[in-house]
A = this chain, B = another copy of it.
Amino acid sequence: MDLNDTPEQAQYRAQVRAWLEEHKSEAPDVEALSEDDVVPARRAWQGKLAEGGLAGVTWPQEFGGQGKGPIEQVIVNQEIAAAGVPGILDVIGLGMLGPCLIAHGTDEQKSRYLGPMLHGDEVWCQLFSEPAAGSDLAAVQAKATQQDDGTWRLTGQKVWTTNAQFASYGLLLARTDADVPKHKGLTMFVVPMDADGITIRGLRQISGEAEFNEVFFDDVALDADAVVGGVGNGWGTALTVLMFERLTIGLGAEGFGYNAARFTKAVAQDEHARRDPEVRQRLGEINTELLAIRFQSYRVLSALSQGAIPGPEAGLAKVTTVKAAIDAGELIADVIGPDALDEDSEWAYMISFLPGLKSAGGTEEILRNTIGERVLGLPPEPRLDKGVPFSELRSIEKQGAPA
C-alpha cells in the first residue's frame, strides 16, 4: 500500500509544475471576466494546456495526446488545482467523446475532429438524454431516416445537454430502426451544432441558473459520413461513452468542491455550533463520507494503474458525494439559519442544485439496480420491454401487461 509518487511520477509532476509555473500568468482570471468572455478565454487556455501537453494526457500520441496513464492525468489535475488556474473547458469532449471517437470513429472522423477538440477550437456536447429517455437511455425517440442518397434527416429533442450553447459539434444517439427491439435500432451521429433546424434553449434549474440545455432538431440534414460506429450499433457506441463517464466520475468526486475542509470551516466559524454535540455528530458523519470518497478515488486510480477498469460500483462514489453534500448543505443552513438561503450566500446554490443532481446521469435507483445485478449478481427486475419492437412498445406499456 503506497500513496506516494514513484520516482517517474515525481519527475513527471515536477515537469508539469514547471510548465504551469512558467505559463500560469497567461491563464484567464475567470472571476474577473464578463459572462460572455469566459468561454473564449477558457478555450484559448485549453489550447495552451494542449500545447504544453496538459490536455489529452491519456490520449494516444498519434491524436495529439501524451499516451500516458490515469495517474499522470490525476497528477496534471492536482497540479492545475494547486496552481490555481482553470483546467480544460471541454471536459466532456476530452474525457468521454474524444475517447469514443478514438475507439469507434473512422480514420476521417479522427483526423477531422480530434485535433480541434483537443485544442479547444471546437467544443463538443453529448446528445443522449431525452425527456422520455433519461435513465432508460435505450428508449430514445429522436429519429434519423436515411435518404436515397445515403444522407440522413434527423428530428427529435434532446435534453440535459451541457455546453450545447457554445458547442461546435455534438455526439447524438438516434433511432434509425423502430421495427427491432429498442437496444438494436440505434445509431450514433456527429452533428454540427450550427446546422439548419437546430434550436437550443437554456434549461433553468431550481437554483435559477441554466446548467443545461434542451436541443430541438427539426428535419436536420446529416451527411452519410456522420455515422459513428456503424448503423444499428449506437447502443454499443453509447456504452463506450458511459464507461468513460464512469471513469471520470470515479476519479473526480472531490472535484465538485465538496470537501471536508470547506464544510468544516463553515461550522467552525460558529462558536456555538462547533461545540454542539448534535452538530458535531452530523459533521463527523458527513466528513467521514467525504474522506471515504477521497480514498476511493485513490483506489480507482490504483486499480487503473494496474490495468483494471473500474466497474459500475464506482458510481457509488457519486451517490455518496451527493448524499454527503446534501447533508452538509442541510447542516450548514441549520447552523447559519435563513441567511444561508440568501442569493448572496456561498451555500444557496449548492443547497438548491443538489436535489436535482440526485437524478442527473442516471437516477440513483437505476444505478443501484445495475450494481446489484452486475456486481452482486442479484437477479434482474422482470423486464416487460425485452425483445419487443420499439414501435410496439408504447401500446404494450399502456396496457401494463407482460410482453
Contacts and interface: CB of A to CB of B under 8 A. Distances in A.
A81 interface: no
A36 to B, nearest CB: 48
A277 interface: yes
Given A277-B278, A278-B277, A379 B400 contact: yes
Most-contacted residue by chain B among A277, A279, A280 (CB, 10 A): A277
A384 interface: yes
A281 B280 CA distance: 13
A7 interface: no
A41 to B, nearest CB: 48
Nearest to A384: B382
Interface in A277-319: 277-281
Most chain B CB within a 10 A radius of its CB, from A278, A384, A403:
A278
A330 to B, nearest CB: 13
Which 4 A-B pairs have CB atoms at the shortest separation, nearest pair first? A278-B278, A277-B278, A382-B382, A278-B281
A402 interface: yes
Contacts of A279: 277
A276 interface: yes
Interface string A311-337: 000000000000000000000000000
A279 B277 CA distance: 9
A286 to B, nearest CB: 14
Nearest to A280: B278
B402 A402 contact: yes
Contacts of A280: 278
B400 A402 contact: no
A280 to B, nearest CB: 8
A372 to B, nearest CB: 15
Nearest to A277: B278
Interface string A389-403: 000000000001011
11 contacts: A277-B277, A277-B278, A277-B279, A278-B278, A278-B281, A379-B400, A382-B382, A382-B384, A382-B402, A402-B402, A402-B403
A56 to B, nearest CB: 45
Interface string A240-284: 000000000000000000000000000000000000111111000
A257 B281 CA distance: 30
A281 B282 CA distance: 12
A337 B72 CA distance: 49
Contacts of A403: 402
Contacts of A281: 278
A280 B279 CA distance: 12
A96 to B, nearest CB: 34
Contacts of A400: 379
A277 B278 CA distance: 6
A378 to B, nearest CB: 12
